């Protein structure tokens, strides 16, 4: 069947098997990719190489959806729409659009690897990025991520620990003790999640956006957060935490955000027109 399109039945089978491997990998359990490949060859009339490449396609789909993927299967973005639909159906059927438990706070959890934003370093080929962002847009990966309160809270807690530890390492225990988890203590209306400090004492207002997926996964930002970002540019920053389910990595964005992201309106507030009688 070389060169023929995969059927819905074949897609469903390989997607289900992929998630068996992925769940084991995220849980730190051992498994054999070769054994899974041999099992799939018995279930569907496809070659070893074809199955391997389809695994890479599934990784790319999950990347576009802002989900973790199997590290051993490098994402390949030339997938068919039918595969995307198969992955989304599996996610919806098995976990209600999948909200994997965030990693526990353990020793060393106050360490996050920071790097430059994706706009300031090498990126995947442009066509691959467009394809993956198209998937994210169509299935609104940012909205699903925003609804995952457990993930968002865990990301904020990780950054909170990082900020306190960073100040302590700089010899500023006095400032570390004053770092506040604003969104937890006061609610979400401040326009930032964490009130921290630079080592010299300047305020540092942090809005945290967390994803289990790749660094270019879209995210939601509110009008209020943007207003605070622009009003307090010297103090406000957005910390984008990614790859959270495995080994959290992060980068910072400062206002104005437009050099790094396209701000796309997704809803409007409707107020009744005031007309004189």
Q: Sign of torsion, CA 269 272 275 276? A: negative
Distance CA 172, CA 120 (A): 31
Q: pLDDT tens for residues 6-43?
A: 999 999 999 999 999 999 998 889 999 999 999 999 99
Distance CA 95, CA 90 (A): 8
| DSSP track, 135-197 | HHHHTTHHHHHHH-HHHHHHHHHHHHHHHHHHHHHTT-HHHHTT-EEHHHHH-STTS-SEEEE
| HSE of 196, CA atoms in CB hemisphere, 13 A | 29
CB atoms within 10 A of CB 221: 17
Write down the pLDDT at residue 108. 54
Domain map (residue ranges) of the chain: 8-98, 126-253
Does position 197 have pLDDT exceeding 80, yes or no? yes
Does position 240 have pLDDT exceeding 70, yes or no? yes
Does position 261 have pLDDT exceeding 70, yes or no? yes
**Nearest by Cα to 193 from 226, 160, 171, 235:** 160
Q: pLDDT tens for residues 36-72?
A: 999 999 999 999 999 999 999 999 999 888 888 999 9
Q: pLDDT tens for residues 102-152?
A: 544 444 556 789 999 988 876 666 668 888 888 888 888 778 777 788 889
First to last CA, the chain: 73
CA angle in degrees (0–180, nearest 5) for 149-153-158: 150
Distance CA 128, CA 134 (A): 10
CA 169 to chain centre: 28
Global pTM value: 0.83
**Nearest by Cα to 233 from 258, 263, 266, 200:** 258
- Can the peptide bond before residue 253 be classed as cis, meaning omega within 30 degrees of 0? no
Distance CA 89, CA 80 (A): 15
The label of the residue with tokens 């990719």 reads 33
Distance CA 33, CA 259 (A): 41
Work out the burial of residue 125: count CB atoms within 10 Å of its CB; fewer than 13 is exposed, 13-18 middle, 19 or more buried: exposed
């Amino acid at each position: 069947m070389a060169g023929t399109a995969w059927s819905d039945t074949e897609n469903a089978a390989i997607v289900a098997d992929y998630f068996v491997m992925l769940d084991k990998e995220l849980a730190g359990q051992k498994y054999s990719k070769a054994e899974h490949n041999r099992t799939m060859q018995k279930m569907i009339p496809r070659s070893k190489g074809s199955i391997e490449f389809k695994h890479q396609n599934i990784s790319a789909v999950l990347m576009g959806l802002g989900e973790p993927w199997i590290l051993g299967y490098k994402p390949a973005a030339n997938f068919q729409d039918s595969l995307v639909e198969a992955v989304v159906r599996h996610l919806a059927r098995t976990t209600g659009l999948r909200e994997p438990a965030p990693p526990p706070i353990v020793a060393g959890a106050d360490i996050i690897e920071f790097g430059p934003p994706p706009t300031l370093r090498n990126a995947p080929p442009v066509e691959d990025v467009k394809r993956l962002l198209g998937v994210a847009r169509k299935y609104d990966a940012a909205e699903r991520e925003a609804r995952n309160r457990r993930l968002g809270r865990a990301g904020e807690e990780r950054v909170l620990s990082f900020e306190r530890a960073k100040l302590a390492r700089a010899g500023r225990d006095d400032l570390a003790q004053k770092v506040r988890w604003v969104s937890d203590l006061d609610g979400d209306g401040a326009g930032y999640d964490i009130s921290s400090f630079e080592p010299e004492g300047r305020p540092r207002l942090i809005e945290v956006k967390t994803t289990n997926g790749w660094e270019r996964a879209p995210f939601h930002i509110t009008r209020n957060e943007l207003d605070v970002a622009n009003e307090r540019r010297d103090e406000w920053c957005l910390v984008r935490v990614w790859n959270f389910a495995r080994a959290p990595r992060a980068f910072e964005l400062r206002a104005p955000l437009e050099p790094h992201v396209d701000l796309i309106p997704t809803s409007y507030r409707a107020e009744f027109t005031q007309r004189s009688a």
